[in-house]
Amino acid sequence: MPLERIDPAKILLVEDDPNDVELIKLALENHKVVNQIDVATDGEQALNYLHELSSSGLPVRDLPRLTLLDLKLPKIDGIKVLERIRNEPRTRDLVVVVMTSSSENQDLKACYQLGVNSYVVKPLGFNQFMDVSRQVGCYWMMLNQVTQTL
């Protein structure tokens, strides 16, 4: 049974695999987790998107409520994207969940040292992938409480 959407918050999905983008969007939209999913297909595009939003003077509520970040990205890898997010005053408190195929201990350690909120290894099976995407979205968008004074 789909959960009821709490607010019109948006997600920034940073993912270069078009199949993963479609599956994640489908899982989140089918369960009414979010109204808007903005997609960046490389690290540079993600940082430009966040920079434009954070420097525009928009209220904090207009920033993405959740960033789903892959690690293996073109142009700028996900660890560097996470580092830059955490070093920028307007974005440092954004919720960032790494969703990646990497189960490498050095990636996991680096992400947690940089302050990632959660690290999820993408399952290989379709049903498991859909379920994990839905669970991540439901938890971070509907259950987790965030401050409005970032």
Task: State pLDDT tens for residues 18-48.
Answer: 999 999 998 888 877 777 899 999 999 999 9
- The DSSP symbol for 38 reads E
Q: How many residues does the chain have?
A: 150
Q: CA-CA distances (angstroms) from residue 7 to 32, 83, 148?
A: 10, 28, 13
Model pTM score: 0.86
pLDDT digits (tens, 9 = 90+) for 80-137: 999 999 999 889 989 999 999 999 999 999 999 999 999 999 988 888 988 888 888 8
Residue listed under structure tokens 């928009």: 58
